[in-house]
């Protein structure tokens, strides 16, 4: 069920907290001013649906605070989370440009702020401002690369421990680093982690338990800690993979 957003004036595009991130990063002052003229900013609570798979593409959104999961669902009801959108990312861009129904659903994982731009007005900005068109193309390229990386992880890494290790290493890459240790907040449930790596919640729970027992990774609430990234990385290193076989870890595929 959709959550009614709370309307805000918010920051303008030129002073926005994500001015130097994502889509806004290399835009000129003139382009930012043009975007600000058509912007409508709202705040959503955790668990709000920004748009759903199959809906008409009526607008383009830019996440300015918080984070949101981008997912798709099979006819049988199985969910695959493609990525977790971060501040500065454009949402609904592919469908807006191609004028096709939304290919994914987007749900906030925490309290989030979103800039809305009506589709026709946003496309006009892309036509009139070359730097905006380039930024949109770069955004589409990044999304494509992320989808390819996830397809590679799910399709080419045979075991759940490998896939989970790869996901945890990628997620903590931008976290707090202390030597070989890293930690960061992971706002996903174990079921949602499974939806990202193509595994059941039960298998993710067992694998995380094994990781904890072997001091590979641990959770304290939503805080994820990897004591030694080099040790966990051996799970996805072909030369060392046999040392961490699924049989040795007692984890089902």
pLDDT tens-digit readout, 167-216: 999 999 888 988 888 999 999 999 999 999 999 999 999 999 999 999 99
CA distances from 176 to 21, 111, 181, 187, 214 (A): 19, 22, 8, 16, 21
Shared-domain flag, residues 142 and 174? no
pLDDT of residue 240: 46
Let me know whether 75 and 138 are in one domain: yes
Last-in-domain residue among 155, 179, 195: 155
Pair (29, 147) in one structural domain: yes
Task: Give a yes or no: residue 44 inside a domain.
Answer: yes
Please determine, for residue 251, whether its predicted confidence score (pLDDT) is greater than 80.
no
CATH number of the domain bearing residue 178: 1.10.10.10
Compute the average pLDDT of residues 209-226.
92
CB count in 10 Å sphere of residue 63? 25
Helix or strand run (H / E) with residue 145: helix 130-156
Answer yes or no: do 177 and 126 share one domain.
no
As a whole number, the mean pLDDT across the chain is 85
- Proportion of the chain above pLDDT 90, given as a percent: 62
226: helix, strand or coil: strand
Residue 99 and residue 149 in one domain: yes
Residues 127 and 188 in one domain: no
**Which two tokens mark 146?**
């992320």
Helix, strand or coil for residue 123? Answer: helix
Same domain assignment for residues 110 and 64 = yes
Beta bridge pairs of residue 40 = 116
Q: Given this model, what pLDDT does residue 1 score?
A: 33
Say what percent of the chain tops pLDDT 70.
85
Which of 94, 128, 155 is a domain's end point? Answer: 155
> Which pair of structure tokens corresponds to residue 232?
């966990």
One domain for residues 93 and 175: no
Task: Judge whether 33 lies within some domain.
Answer: yes
Q: Is residue 29 part of a domain?
A: yes
199 in the same domain as 90: no
User: Are both 15 and 129 inside the same structural domain?
Assistant: yes
Per the CB < 8 A criterion, the answer to whether 126 and 133 are in contact is: yes
Residue 1 forms part of a structural domain: no
Distance of CA 128 to CAs 93, 114, 124, 133, Å?
Answer: 17, 23, 6, 9
Tens digit of each residue's pLDDT (9 = 90 or more) over 8-26: 555 665 555 565 667 888 8
pLDDT of 25 reads 86
Residue 151 and residue 60 share a domain: yes
Q: Do 89 and 16 sit in the same domain of this protein?
A: yes
Give the pLDDT confidence score for residue 17 in this predicted structure: 57
State the pLDDT at residue 65. 94
Q: Are 216 and 226 in contact (CB under 8 A)?
A: yes
Name which of 228, 239, 196, 227 is nearest 72 in CA terms: 196
Structure confidence by residue, pLDDT tens digits, 91-135: 999 999 999 999 999 999 999 999 999 999 999 999 999 999 999
106: enclosing H helix or E strand:
strand 105-108
Distance, in Å, from the CA atom of 68 to the CA atom of 70, rounded to the nearest integer, reads 7
Name the residue range of residue 76's domain. 6-155
Q: Is residue 79 part of a domain?
A: yes
> What pTM does this model have?
0.79
Q: Round to whole Å and give the CA distance between 62 and 60.
A: 7
The region, left, alpha or beta by phi > 0 then psi within -120 to 50, assigned to residue 47 is left
Sheet containing strand 218-220, strands side by side: 176-178, 181-185, 223-226, 218-220
190 belongs to a structural domain: yes
For the residues 157-161, what does the mean pLDDT come to?
A: 81
For residue 107, is it within any domain?
Answer: yes
Distance of CA 95 to the CA centre of its chain: 18
Quickly list DSSP for 7-47: EE----TTT-TTTTSGGGTT--HHHHHHHHHTEEEEEE-TT
Of 127, 155, 183, the residue that ends a domain is 155
Domain count, the chain: 2
């Amino acid at each position: 069920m959709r959550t009614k957003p709370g309307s805000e004036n918010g920051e303008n595009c030129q002073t926005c907290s994500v001015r130097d991130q994502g889509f806004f990063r290399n835009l000129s002052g003139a382009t930012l001013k043009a975007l600000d003229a058509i912007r409508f900013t709202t705040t959503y609570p955790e668990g709000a649906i920004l748009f759903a798979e199959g809906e008409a593409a009526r607008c383009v959104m830019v996440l300015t605070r918080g984070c949101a999961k981008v997912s798709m669902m099979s006819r049988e009801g199985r969910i695959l989370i493609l990525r977790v959108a971060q501040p500065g990312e454009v949402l609904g861009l592919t469908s807006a440009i191609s004028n096709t129904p939304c290919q994914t659903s987007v749900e906030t994982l925490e309290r989030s702020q979103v800039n809305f731009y009506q589709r026709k007005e946003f496309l006009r900005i892309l036509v009139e401002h070359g730097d905006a068109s380039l930024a949109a193309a770069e955004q589409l390229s990044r999304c494509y690369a992320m989808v390819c990386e996830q397809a590679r992880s799910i399709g080419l890494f045979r075991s759940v421990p490998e896939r989970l290790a790869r996901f945890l290493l990628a997620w903590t890459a931008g976290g707090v680093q202390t030597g070989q240790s890293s930690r960061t907040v992971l706002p996903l449930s174990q079921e949602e982690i499974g939806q990202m790596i193509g595994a059941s919640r039960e298998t993710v729970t067992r694998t995380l338990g094994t990781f904890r027992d072997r001091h590979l990774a641990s959770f304290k609430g939503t805080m994820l800690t990897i004591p030694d990234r080099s040790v966990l990385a051996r799970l996805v290193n072909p030369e060392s993979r046999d040392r961490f076989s699924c049989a040795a870890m007692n984890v089902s595929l």
